[in-house]
C-alpha cells in the first residue's frame, strides 16, 4: 500500500503524463483498479479539508465493497466480529434488535423477545431514523449497531419511522440481552413453543421445553411453533430444530457457485412430539433459519403453516476470519438455501397454507407490497435462481376487523383452530365474527378497490 500511496502522489503532480502511461501499458484490470484505490486514498489523505484516519477509510471501503455484492455480505471490523460471536453464543448488551440495510436506510428485521426495543413497541420493518439526535440516514448496519450497543444501564434515544403512523420516539435503556431462544407454555390442550432465535443453545432448549410440556401434560393434543419475528441464526440450529419434528427425509440443501457445490442435511429417526399435529406461525419478520424450518416441515407435510409470507432470506453467509480474527472477518454469501422439494427461499419466502394477518393494519401493509419489508425489497438482493418471484400486493385471505382486541392474537387463535381440525384446512372451522375473509379469486380485486 505504501507504493500505491507514492504512485498516487506522482499522479497528482504530473496529471496527464500518468494517464498516458496507464493507457500505453496493458494491465490486468483488477490490479489497475487497486492502484486507482491507492491513488484516491492518497488524494484524500493530502487534500481533504481536515486530517483523515486512513484505517477508518479503508475499513469503510471494505464494507462498501462487500455490501455492493448483496445486502448480507459484510466486512466485520474486529469489534464487529466479536459482537457477532457474542450474539451466536446467546448474550450481549444492547437494545435487542436484528437490523439490516437497504437503499441507505437501516431497518428492523425483528425485535428480540422481551428486549428494550420490543417492550417499547418497535416492529419488524420500522426504519431507524434518528439516534441520539443525529440522523441515521446513510449509516451502515455496523455504524448503527455500534451506536445502539453499550454498557448496561445506559440509554439511547431512537426515532423509528413506520408506514401510516407517526414517528415513534423512544428512549431505550441498554441491558444484557440474555436470549432465551426457546420457551413453552400450555394453552388449553395445546403446547405453544416460542423460538425467538437460532443460536448455540436452541436445540438443547427445544428438547428440554418439549420434554417438560409432555411430562406435565400427558394428554397434549398438538403444538404451535411460533417463529414470527425470528430473524434467524445458525444453520446447525435450524437443522436440529427441523430434525426434532421429522422422522426422515431431507431438511435443506445449499447450493453454491459451481454445480458440484451441493450440501444436504437430512433428518434422523425420532420425532420429539410423537407425531402430534403441528402448526408453524410465520410472518414477514421470519427470516433465514426460521424459513428453513418452516419450509422443511411444510414440504414434508409435517406442519401447517399459518400467518404471512416469510421474509425470503434464502442465502448462506460464511464467516471467514482475517488473520485469525485480528483484522476482523468477512461475512460473505456463498450459497442459496433450497427446501426439500427444491424450492428456493431466496426473495420468495415461505407462503403460508392459511394466510392470516394479525391485525387490520398489518393486512393494509400486505395490500401495498412496496411497504412490506422483505428480501425482495432490496435493490441488490440475490435472485432466486429458479425463475420464481414473491407474490406482490394483495389482500390477505383473513384479517381481523378494526375492532379486534389488540391483546388477542388472531393468528394464534387460527393456529389452534387448525390443530382442532387435525391440520385439515377443509375441515377448518369458519372464521369468527368480525373477521374479513377474502376468497382467493377476489384478493387482487379487493386490493384494486381500496
Q: How far, in Å, CA of 238 to CA of 296, rounded?
A: 10
Cα distances from 31 to residues 26, 35, 36, 58, 392, in angstroms, run: 11, 6, 9, 17, 43
Measured in residues, the chain has a length of 450
Three-state SS at 263: strand
Query: Which cell numbers hold the place of 236?
Result: 446447525
Burial (0-12, 13-18, 19+ Cβ within 10 Å), 295: buried
What dihedral do alpha carbons 37, 40, 45, 47 form, nearest 10°?
A: 180
Task: Map grid coordinates 414434508 to a residue.
Answer: 300
- What is the DSSP secondary structure assignment for residue 352, as one 8-state letter? P
Cβ contacts of 116 within 8 Å, gap of 6 or more: 95, 96, 172, 173, 174, 175
Q: How far, in Å, CA of 380 to CA of 392, rounded?
A: 18
Active site residues per annotation: 288, 299, 313
Long-range contacts of 382-386 (CB under 8 A, 24+ apart): 382/70, 382/315, 382/333, 382/336, 382/346, 382/347, 383/346, 383/347, 384/314, 384/336, 384/344, 384/346, 384/347, 384/348, 385/336, 385/344, 385/346, 386/342, 386/343, 386/344
Amino acid at each position: 500500500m505504501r507504493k500505491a500511496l507514492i504512485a498516487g502522489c506522482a499522479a497528482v503532480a504530473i496529471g496527464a503524463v500518468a494517464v498516458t502511461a496507464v493507457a500505453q501499458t496493458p494491465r490486468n484490470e483488477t490490479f489497475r483498479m487497486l492502484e486507482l484505490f491507492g491513488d484516491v486514498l492518497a488524494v484524500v489523505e493530502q487534500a481533504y479539508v481536515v486530517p483523515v484516519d486512513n484505517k477508518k477509510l479503508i475499513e469503510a471501503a471494505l464494507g462498501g465493497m462487500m455490501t455492493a455484492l448483496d445486502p448480507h455480505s459484510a466486512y466485520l471490523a474486529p469489534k464487529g466480529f466479536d459482537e457477532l460471536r457474542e450474539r451466536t453464543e446467546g448474550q450481549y448488551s444492547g437494545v435487542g434488535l436484528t437490523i439490516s440495510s437497504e437503499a441507505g436506510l437501516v431497518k428492523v428485521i425483528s425485535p428480540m423477545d422481551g428486549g428494550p426495543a420490543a417492550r417499547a413497541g418497535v416492529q419488524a420493518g420500522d426504519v431507524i431514523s434518528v439516534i441520539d439526535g443525529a440522523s441515521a440516514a446513510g449509516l451502515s448496519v455496523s455504524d448503527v449497531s455500534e451506536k445502539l450497543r453499550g454498557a448496561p444501564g445506559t440509554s439511547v434515544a431512537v426515532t423509528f419511522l413506520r408506514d401510516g403512523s407517526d414517528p415513534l420516539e423512544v428512549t431505550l435503556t441498554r441491558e444484557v440481552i440474555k436470549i432465551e431462544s426457546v420457551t413453552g407454555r400450555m394453552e388449553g390442550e395445546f403446547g405453544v413453543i416460542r423460538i425467538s432465535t437460532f443460536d448455540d443453545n436452541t436445540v438443547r432448549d427445544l428438547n428440554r421445553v418439549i420434554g417438560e410440556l409432555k411430562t406435565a401434560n400427558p394428554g397434549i393434543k398438538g403444538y404451535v411453533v411460533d417463529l414470527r419475528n425470528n430473524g434467524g441464526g445458525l444453520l446447525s440450529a435450524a437443522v436440529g430444530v427441523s430434525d426434532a419434528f421429522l422422522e426422515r427425509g431431507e431438511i435443506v440443501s445449499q447450493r453454491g457457485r459451481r454445480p458440484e457445490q451441493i450440501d444436504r442435511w437430512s433428518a434422523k429417526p425420532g420425532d420429539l412430539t410423537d407425531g402430534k399435529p403441528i402448526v408453524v406461525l410465520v410472518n414477514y419478520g421470519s427470516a433465514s433459519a426460521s424459513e428453513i424450518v418452516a419450509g422443511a416441515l411444510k414440504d414434508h407435510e409435517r406442519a401447517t403453516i399459518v400467518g404471512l409470507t416469510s421474509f425470503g432470506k434464502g442465502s448462506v453467509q460464511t464467516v471467514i476470519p482475517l488473520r485469525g480474527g485480528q483484522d476482523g472477518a468477512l461475512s460473505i454469501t456463498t450459497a442459496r438455501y433450497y427446501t426439500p422439494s427444491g424450492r428456493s427461499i431466496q426473495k420468495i419466502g415461505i407462503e403460508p397454507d392459511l394466510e392470516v394477518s394479525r391485525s387490520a393494519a398489518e393486512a393494509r401493509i400486505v395490500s401495498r407490497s412496496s411497504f412490506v419489508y422483505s428480501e425482495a425489497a432490496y435493490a441488490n438482493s440475490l435472485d432466486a435462481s429458479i425463475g420464481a418471484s414473491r407474490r406482490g400486493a394483495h389482500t390477505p385471505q383473513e384479517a381481523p376487523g378494526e375492532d379486534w382486541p389488540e391483546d388477542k392474537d388472531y393468528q394464534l387463535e387460527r393456529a389452534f383452530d387448525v390443530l382442532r381440525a387435525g391440520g385439515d384446512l377443509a375441515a377448518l372451522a369458519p372464521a369468527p365474527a368480525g373477521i374479513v375473509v377474502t376468497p382467493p379469486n377476489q384478493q387482487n380485486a379487493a386490493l384494486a378497490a381500496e
